[in-house]
Chain A
Amino acid sequence: MLVAILAHFALAAVLPLVARRYGRAAFVVGALAPAATLVYALARGGEAVSGAPPLETLAWAPVIGLEFTARFDELALLLILLVSGIGAVVLCYYSRYAKPDDHRTAARDSALLVTFAGAMLGLVLADDVISLYLFWELTTVCSFLLVGGDGVAKRLRTSATQALLVTTLGGLAMLLGLILLGTAAGTMRISEILADPPSGGIVTAALLLVLLGALTKSAQVPFHPWLPSAMVAPTPVSAYLHAAAMVKAGVYLVARFSPAFADHPAWWIPIVVCGLWTMLLGGFRALRQYDLKTLLAYGTISQLGFLMVMLGAGTWMSALAAGTLILAHGLFKSALFLTVGIIDKRAGTRDIRELSGLGRQWRGLTTLATFALMSMAGLPPLLGFIGKEVALEALFEGGTVDRLIGVGVAVGSVLTVVYSLRFLRGAFGTKPDMAPSAPVPCGRVMTGMVAVPSLAGLVLALAPSVIEPVETGYADRYGKDPGYHLALWHGITPALMISVGIIAAGVAVHRYAGVQRLGGYVPGPLRAQSWYGRSVEGLESLARGVTGRLQVGSLPVYLGVILTTLVVVPGAGLFSGDIDFGELRLFDNWLQVPLALLVLVAAATSLLARRRLTAVLLAGVVGYGIGAWFVVDGGADLALAQFLVETLTLVVFVFVIRRFPPRFIENKAYVGGRWVKAVIAGVAGTFVAVLAVLYSGYRGGIPEASRQYIERAEDETGATNVVNAIIVDFRAFDTIGEITVLAVAATGVASLILARSRRRNGTVGRPEPTEQDATDDTGTTETPEVRS
């Protein structure tokens, strides 16, 4: 199984090369990975449902117990059927849908789709929370890139950003939740957490956080608006990501954790409430859509809500219903999206107000789409019907709460029937007041790709025993098998009567056009999309406000803040303990006296200096004086470094003050500010001096670390200079970190200065000077170079 995941990523890496040469054929090549995975998973399907699922482990960072474990159980198998099966179908379909001459798009989308399929595969197989999270975010990133496309149109960028922001918000919350859960359980392995679920207050918080991830990913209310917005992506991408795979990730997460936490109120109540709300709202909004794709998007939201409700209900029957519906939904929704793709591509529009008479032209496609729609509406003899029967049975056989949920689900199902009819009539119907669309062929390969999921829904419904082991295997985690079997006909049961009622009500609502005109209206303040916009605007203005107040652009203010922090934070610590100045001596060596006097005089004189250059030179005297002090105390290395750095600082200072007026400007109106500065500087200086005396008072001899350095320098590093041994050996890691910082800082400074001079010269976009110019000594080196 690990090999299959890796194969996806490896294939994705070479697909751009294939696409550059052969264009859209790359999609067919890409389809090989999911197709092979599907075959492999089916071949090993028996092991998955055997009760002892195969485990594969790959050590990742064994020192910290990090490993990647793939666990191939029933739920994983069920999701692989969708992820790999529909993945292969969509990739084949895309090879005809893509423009033949657009190799760039083919390269990008084929590689991303295969990466995405690999990430989904990893997600459903992962058995430890960290790799689960990694694959989870990988699908988010792929979705962002696929929706964003080439990023030229603003609409693409905003939609992609919204999808990214909303799902990443949930993803990060989920990571926190998973880690809390793993810590509470004492293991990061999901199967072990589920086998022995922890409890307590932390677990409640963890479950809510995990749910936030699932609800955002599966576009549940109030996070749903990203899904309809993401419909700007190419239709095959929408079919795969936003119908079959990515949105199922949230459902999968809930399905994975529900067996252990279904009784936990913090788990099932949010799921059921959000799910029901989503199911009703999605169906309601779908009634008003004219764009076939957006209609399906709202239908997807509604169906995802339905799946969530069934998983939240947490009984054997409801789990069986959820498992069957996950499969049914993936099949019919991908078939419908692919149908919309054909309509959009061939008829030139997907607006139902402009389509007419397609049903008569494309009889084959219409039949296939009708199967899919029947499955969606829950009509026999299709898989959707079987799933809905189980769901109604599960809910109406249960207690009062279950029955209430059942009523909500029934209303949602009525809406599903209505929008299915709206799709059928809108896409394929012949409207009396409109001329039929011009006849065009609908394409054999693309229709063939619609046929696969559409007919699969029919075949599996006729022979449900094929998938029954998988579904019941998953349901068995919730309790004892009550002896129910998936079938089209159970006799005349209450569930069947409710089904008939739902369909009758749906048809009636559809006929009664006035209700439809009302449908889908949501008052402005309640629209989730405007709330999203407001949150993003609020965040941006918050960031602007914080940055504007912190980064005021005044050096004295920055310095003041730094010095005040320096005094306040360690200074507060001084009050808490006893202060011991140790044994104070005036000096150790008589040479220290004149040096100290020199430093003091230079420091005091620099305050009186009126010329900038004088002040800089006096500051230099202070530095050299300290360097000389190091020499007196025997720190040769330290002294050398001090002298060199002081010299360099002085030179840079002199460079810079060339740009300044020669004298300090005395602004008489600014006396107050000067007093504040003087106080801050004085207090900070005194504080540092006191601290220096204090620290030296606390030193009793050489610390252990230093003693070890001195002892081991010769043997272990071959150096007799201990300072050097520390820098390049004992603490070489620090050294590398420091020089990295230095390199980054120098590059940053250079970029800032060069960017500024470019702007002032107004030469942005001027061709970069050639190497010949740059080394010419006639002064052209001063031309700023464009740096990366």
Chain B
Amino acid sequence: MTDRPDDPRESVPWTEWDTPRERWLMTEQDAYSWPRSLLLEVIARVLFPTVLVFSVYLLLAGHNNAGGGFSGGLVAALAFVLRYVAGGSAELAMMVRVRPPVVIGSGLAIAVLTALAPVVFGDPVLASGIWKLQLPVLGELKITSNLLLDLGVYLLIIGVVVDLLRTIGAGTEVGGPGVDDEQLEEERG
């Protein structure tokens, strides 16, 4: 992130367009007060996108197979947990740009709006609609309005877990806010 240009819209020479926008791993200068495990950090980095994609699969597959918003959300949240375990709150802050309460709120809002939307069309609250589309290559695609409710659950779970990581993690971390390190050492003996 330190290497990122100040203005992202600044034009980059085409020869450099593929240089990483941020340092992939943090360096020793970054704030760490415990021994780092390079292996763990690299593995976490590599797995992170894959796990997120898998969580989206679970979200979408839930309708017909094992999965759903709750499981998908937990899997995505565990991806963040993995990053946090590897790199601590600094790592978490690097990837989470949105404040977790915002994610929680959006999830809840999506779920509630999905529940209320049928009222506009004269149906009872929480009535669900099913639409079937014929797509040229993919074949038949079935979309249900419940998916939106599941999406709300998914987002909310991610937000809740990341929020807990941010607060419980930060509150118990060496060098974290409100943590008296000397007292901590004393307690730990």
A residues contacting B by CB (< 8 A) are 636-637, 640-641, 644-645, 647-648, 651-652, 655-656, 658-662, 716-721, 723-724, 727-729, 732-733, 735-736, 739-740, 742-743, 746-747, 749-750, 753-754, 756-761, 774-775, 777-779, 781-785, 787
Contact = CB atoms under 8 A, between A and B. Distances in A.
A761 B178 CA distance: 5
A724 B62 contact: yes
B78 A717 contact: no
Contacts of B170: 753, 757, 781-782, 784
Q: 10 tightest CB-CB pairs across the interface, nearest first?
A: A757-B178, A779-B31, A781-B93, A644-B74, A636-B66, A728-B146, A746-B160, A718-B130, A750-B167, A760-B178
Contacts of A761: 177-178
B97 A775 contact: yes
Contact of A637 (B66, B74, B126, B184): B66
**Chain B contact surface mostly:** helix
A743 B178 CA distance: 24
B130 A651 contact: no
- Which of B31, B66, B74 has the most A CB atoms < 10 Å from its CB? B66
B115 A721 contact: no
A42 B26 CA distance: 81
Contacts of A637: 66-68, 71
B65 to A, nearest CB: 6
Interface in B107-164: 107-108, 111-112, 115, 125-126, 128, 130, 142, 144, 146, 149-150, 152-153, 156-157, 159-161, 163-164
A731 to B, nearest CB: 10
A750 B177 CA distance: 13
A660 B187 contact: yes
Given A644-B74, A648-B78, A719-B63, A747 B178 contact: no
Contact of B89 (A732, A757, A781): A781
A50 B107 CA distance: 59
B167 A749 contact: yes
Interface string B167-186: 11111110111111000100
A16 to B, nearest CB: 28
Contacts of B159: 743, 746
Given A719-B64, A779-B89, 7 more contacts: A661-B187, A732-B149, A735-B153, A775-B1, A777-B26, A777-B30, A778-B30
Given A739-B107, A775-B97, A782-B89, A644 B177 contact: no
Nearest to B189: A661
B106 to A, nearest CB: 11
A749 B159 CA distance: 13
A754 B146 contact: no
A740 B108 contact: yes
B174 to A, nearest CB: 8
Interface in B28-76: 30-31, 58, 62-71, 74-75
A743 B104 contact: yes
Interface residues of B, number: 73
Contacts of B156: 739, 742-743
B38 to A, nearest CB: 18
Majority-rule SS of A interface residues: helix
B102 to A, nearest CB: 11
A6 B115 CA distance: 30
Contact of B178 (A647, A732, A756): A756
Contact of A779 (B85, B90, B128, B184): B90
A644 to B, nearest CB: 4
B1 A662 contact: no
Contacts of A781: 89-90, 92-93, 166, 170
12 contacts: A636-B66, A647-B78, A652-B164, A721-B62, A727-B69, A733-B125, A736-B112, A750-B164, A758-B177, A777-B2, A781-B93, A782-B177
Nearest to A762: B178
Nearest to A638: B66
Contact of A747 (B69, B101, B149): B101
A732 B168 contact: no
A783 B177 contact: yes
Interface in B76-90: 77-78, 81, 85, 89-90
B107 A757 contact: no
Contacts of A724: 62-63, 67-68, 150
B176 to A, nearest CB: 5
Contact of A651 (B63, B81, B105, B142): B81
Interface in B1-17: 1-2
Contacts of B101: 747, 750, 787
A321 B35 CA distance: 91
A735 B169 CA distance: 28
A749 B62 contact: no
Contacts of A732: 115, 126, 128, 146, 149
Contacts of A645: 74
A759 B179 CA distance: 11
Contact of A739 (B152, B179, B184): B152
Given A636-B66, A736-B111, A781-B93, A750 B163 contact: yes
A640 to B, nearest CB: 5
Contact of B160 (A651, A742, A785): A742
Contacts of A750: 101, 163-164, 166-167
Given A644-B78, A662-B189, A655 B178 contact: no
Given A651-B81, A750-B163, A777-B30, A727 B70 contact: yes
Contacts of A753: 167-168, 170-171
A786 to B, nearest CB: 12
A723 B63 CA distance: 9
Contacts of B166: 750, 781
Contacts of B1: 775, 777
A640 B68 CA distance: 10
Given A659-B184, A724-B68, A753-B171, A641 B115 contact: no
Contacts of A636: 65-66
B115 A736 contact: yes
Contacts of A784: 170, 177-178
A697 to B, nearest CB: 29
B31 A729 contact: no
Nearest to A721: B64
B60 to A, nearest CB: 11
A300 to B, nearest CB: 49
B161 A648 contact: yes
A105 to B, nearest CB: 35
A652 to B, nearest CB: 6
B78 A652 contact: no
Contacts of B63: 718-721, 724
A454 B62 CA distance: 77
A749 B164 contact: yes
Nearest to B31: A779
A783 B176 CA distance: 8
Contacts of B172: 655-656, 658-659
A641 B70 CA distance: 8
A719 B144 CA distance: 9
Contacts of B111: 735-736, 739
Contacts of A718: 63, 128, 130, 142, 144
Contacts of B75: 644
A667 to B, nearest CB: 15
A753 B168 CA distance: 7
Nearest to B142: A718
Contacts of A778: 30-31, 90
Contacts of B184: 659
A364 B171 CA distance: 73
Contact of A719 (B97, B146, B153, B171): B146
A729 B148 CA distance: 11
A727 B73 CA distance: 14
B188 A661 contact: yes
